[in-house]
Structure 1
Amino acid sequence: MDLFAFLPLAALLDAAYGALTGLSDLLTPVAGASAAALAVVLVTLIVRALLIPVGISQAKAEQTRARLAPRLRELQRRHKKNPERLQKEMMALYRAENTSPFAGMLPVLAQAPVVGILYTLFLRPEIAGHPNELLAHDLFGAPLGTSLVSALFGGTATPATFLVYGVLLAVMIAVAEVTRRVFRPTPVEGDDSPLNSPPCCAWSRRCTT
């Protein structure tokens, strides 16, 4: 079943396609055949910038969860034979701290539709009944409509393909590491859980026990 055959989703995808192709056309004099890829990068950066306040809220939620971890473990120890009482006590603790176990999920939920639409735009050969012109673009010689796996098994992989995907992978790893360091919860004094310890310290304890 094709979800995007459903009229509202098809209209949403077509609107996103029109906006992205319009931005790509504006960037073509500067980026040439890589204009569509640059348009995706710009859209991603705009979405990330708009979500900065939500990211700050997520970081605070992570710090709150780290601070509450010892008290939550104590509740689990005290009420492990009474799941219903444990649930009530945990929710009462979250309410007292003005937080919830689901705090910090908003950035993921907010980004998911944008990421899903962008991904779909480079999968479908047709959008709302017309050819998908985005697939004719490339990024430094790597076609945007072809994944690394399909290029390998289809015999169309070139040195440019490996270079582009290698650089993208390195960038994603670097961004993930920077994000992990920036949003890592502040250590809580007296809490020796692995979550509250720097990676090297947690690893050292595992190695010495």
Structure 2
Amino acid sequence: MNLYSLPLVAALLDAAYRALMGLTDLLEPAAGAAAAAVAVLLVTVAVRALLIPVGISQARAEQTRARLAPRLAELQRRHRDHPEKLQSATMRLYADEGTTPFAGCLPMLVQMPVLGVIYAVFVHAQIAGHGNALLGRTLAGVPLGSGLVPALGGGTATLATVLVVGAVVLGIALVGELTRRASSPGGRLAAAVAPQSIASAGSQGAAPGPLGGSGVQRALGVLQFMTAAAACFVPLAAGLYLLVTAWWTFGQRLVLRRRYPLPVAGGAAS
């Protein structure tokens, strides 16, 4: 069964298509042939702006989890032979602090449907029984519905396709590397963004980077590299969404980490 043929899904795709086409038409006098690409970028920014309160809640939750790390380690030591007691005590500790170990997952979960809709709009020639004019829209001469790997596999890749999609992929990989460095204790970006935190650590050890402090934080860099790999397969329009989202996430985390700093090594707070 084709999921996109279901009435509710087809209606959702049709609404998204018409909204993007309407925004594209409004932008065309100023953006020209790149109007549809600019429309995708604006939609991405709008989605991320709406998620700012969620990002703030996430930063607070990360700060709380970092503060609770010594107590969680003690629970693991105390109940290492009793997994059920460890799980119960851990969840009780989180509940007492008014947070959850899954608080950081919400932004990603909220964005997945949006990305899925953008992906679907740019891979279907027919939407709700009518033609998809967005597939003919381009960015620097590259159709927004084309992907690097599918184009290479189908023998339709041009130099423009490789350059434009390659630039998107490299942009996502770059923010992944910046995230990895920001998550490394004592990294240059950490020193630039949170010099007081690192200085206050002193002889206690290096402070975590502004995005660091836990394995979850360091995994963000790996996730961005995985996102870069995914951008090779999805349509260019979806790749643009991933690119803007990756840079927005990086910038937002830097800002929020200054507002909600993680404890430095040795238990001191910045």
TM-score normalised by the shorter chain: which range applies? 0.7 to 0.9
Alignment match, 1:15: 15
Q: After superposition, what is the alpha-carbon deviation per residue over 1:157-198, rounded to whole angstroms, capped at 9, x for unaligned?
A: 22221221132123323326545645666134426xxxxxxx
Alignment match, 2:35: 35
The question of whether the paired residues in 2 share the 8 Å contact of 1:37 and 1:144 is answered with yes
Structure 2 CA distance for aligned equivalents of residues 180 and 69 of structure 1: 20
Alignment match, 1:24: 24
Q: How many pairs does the alignment contain?
A: 191
2:81 paired with 1:81: yes
Structure 1 CA distance for aligned equivalents of residues 166 and 99 of structure 2: 40
The question of whether the paired residues in 2 share the 8 Å contact of 1:66 and 1:188 is answered with no
Alignment match, 1:105: 105
Q: After superposition, what is the alpha-carbon deviation per residue over 1:109-147, rounded to whole angstroms, capped at 9, x for unaligned?
A: 221111110111011111001111110011111111110
Alignment match, 1:161: 161
The question of whether the paired residues in 2 share the 8 Å contact of 1:67 and 1:188 is answered with no
TM-score by length of 1: 0.84
Task: State the percentage of identical aligned residues.
Answer: 60
Return structure 1 stretches of 4+ with deviation > 4 angstroms. 176-185
Structure 1 CA distance for aligned equivalents of residues 254 and 74 of structure 2: 28
Structure 2 CA distance for aligned equivalents of residues 150 and 86 of structure 1: 47
Alignment match, 1:187: 263
Q: How does 1:55-66 map to 2 (within 5 A)?
A: 55-66=55-66
Quick one: which amino acid aligns to residue 106 of structure 1? Answer: L
Larger Rg: 1
The question of whether the paired residues in 1 share the 8 Å contact of 2:126 and 2:132 is answered with yes
Quick one: which amino acid aligns to residue 263 of structure 2? Answer: P
Q: 1:27: how far off?
A: 1.2
Structure 2 CA distance for aligned equivalents of residues 105 and 70 of structure 1: 22
The question of whether the paired residues in 1 share the 8 Å contact of 2:147 and 2:165 is answered with no
Quick one: which amino acid aligns to residue 64 of structure 1? Answer: T
Structure 2 CA distance for aligned equivalents of residues 58 and 163 of structure 1: 36
TM-score by length of 2: 0.66
**What is the Cα-based RMSD across aligned positions, in Å?**
1.9
